[in-house]
Each structure stands twice: as structure tokens, then as C-alpha cells.
Amino acid sequence: MKTISENRAFGGVQGVYSHASEVCGCDMTFGMFLPEEAEHDPVPVLWYLSGLTCTHENAMVKAGAQAWAAEQGIALIFPDTSPRGPGVSNDDAFDLGQGAGFYVNATETPWAANFQMWDYITDELPRLLFSAYPLDESRQAITGHSMGGHGALTIAMSIPGRFRSVSAFAPIANPTASDWGRKQFTAYLGADTAKWAAHDASLLMKKRGFDGPILIDQGGSDQFLDLLRPEALAEAAASARQNITFRMQKGYDHSYFFVSTFMEDHISFHADALYA
């Protein structure tokens, strides 16, 4: 790995690192905050998956998460949202290609060559980090915003036992029924809609649910509500009798002002599960 930067923050270290990814076929960059406790013992981990157009940097600098993570002694990992580089396929639209990996393994040309974000997030990057840093693999939680909320929910429900808790800020909750989903799934996974169901949080909720607590915050004035479809996830959770806290936050939009407002709540929520 290559160290891009390291800065002291709240008693710990906020770093940015890059490495050659075998599954994505390019160099990948991620951010990681290690609290002071990591100097002595392995610490629990909270993964944060970012949304469309974002990189590792958005949440790292805008969410205000490090202060609350330091208070709880939790490491934060901020992966990138897609493969990048001059040899990586892209699209002129903001919601496809670089910055819009959707946390799936692409099977279609030209995306399949690099866009293997499911394997990167669930396998390659964890193996790299748990072998190199004082992180407690038995205590993991996951969260995300928008496209990253979609990724956090689908990954948590698809890998039983790995994550003690999952949360999301304004997740793309029902992508198989939304233009934020149908477009990308067609491009990355092909036209067979049966292959899409494994990446739809509302459908997964009905099918299997999650074996732990879930926290969802959704802005009531989110400009993308029709694309996010939070009502589908709420209905699926109710029908599955899922242990979930679903909060509509009046007046809040889709921005990082919204995310940062409720970040303390989410880290406290995950700390309760990670230290249980």
C-alpha cells in the first residue's frame, strides 16, 4: 500500500491510502480513521459507503464522523465508490461509470473488466485491512449514504453474521423500481431483471431481513425522494417484522448537512451493537 496522507485527528490518525486492486484491475484509494485505542489493541470497525459522484473523500471531510468515532473508540473505513483511472470505462452521465459503481460485480461489457465493487468491498479490501491494521474482524458494522446506503443494506443482508448493525442515510431503497437502479443494473448486470433482485434492499428485506438492528434516516425534503423510494423499504421491514428504526427527518434534504446532523446518532447506534 501507498500512504497518500496521514493527519492527527481527535487523538487518532486519519489516513488516505492507495493500493493495486486485483479484482478492479486498477489502483484504488480509501480513507481510514484509526482512533487512539488502536495503538494498543484491535478496535471495532464501521464501514462507510458513499453515494453517486463521491469518492472516499466526501464523507471523510464532510460527515464529521471522526470526532464521534474517536469518542467511541471505533475505526472508520471510507472506500471509493468505483474503480478509476485512464484505462477504466466511464460514461458522460454522472450516474453511470466512474463514481457510480453501485456496489455490484458487473458482468456486461465494457464494465466487467473493472467494476467488481461487490468483491472489492466484501472481500479484497477487508482482507487487506484486517491483515495490516489493528482492526477487530469480529466487530464490524456498516453504514452509507444514498447509493452507499443501498450498498450497506444489501451487503449486510447478504452476508449473515458479518455485521452487528447496519444503518443508512437516504438509501436508494428499491432500485429495481427506480431510475436510480434500473439504468445501472441494465448496464452492469444486463437486461435479465432476475439478476437485479440480489441488489435491492426492499426485496432482500422481504426475503431474508437482517439479523441485527437497523437505523434509517431519510430527509423529508430530500429532492430525490421519488428515486430513493424509502416507503418500499419501510413497508418491507414492517411485513418482515424487522428490528428497525426508520426516521423521516422533517425539512432535511439529501446533502451532507443532513448526514452530518445525524452522524452522532448513527455512530452511537453502531457503538451499542459493537460493544454489546
Cell of 269: 447506534
19 is catalytic: no
89 is catalytic: no
Catalytic residue among 21, 50, 82, 146: 146
Catalytic residue among 145, 199, 254, 270: 254
146 is catalytic: yes
The strand order across the sheet containing 2-9 reads 2-9, 12-21, 26-34, 75-79, 43-49, 135-144, 163-169, 214-219, 244-249
Task: Report how far residue 153's alpha carbon sits from residue 136's, in angstroms, rounded to the nearest whole number.
Answer: 21
User: Which residues are designated catalytic?
Assistant: 146, 222, 254
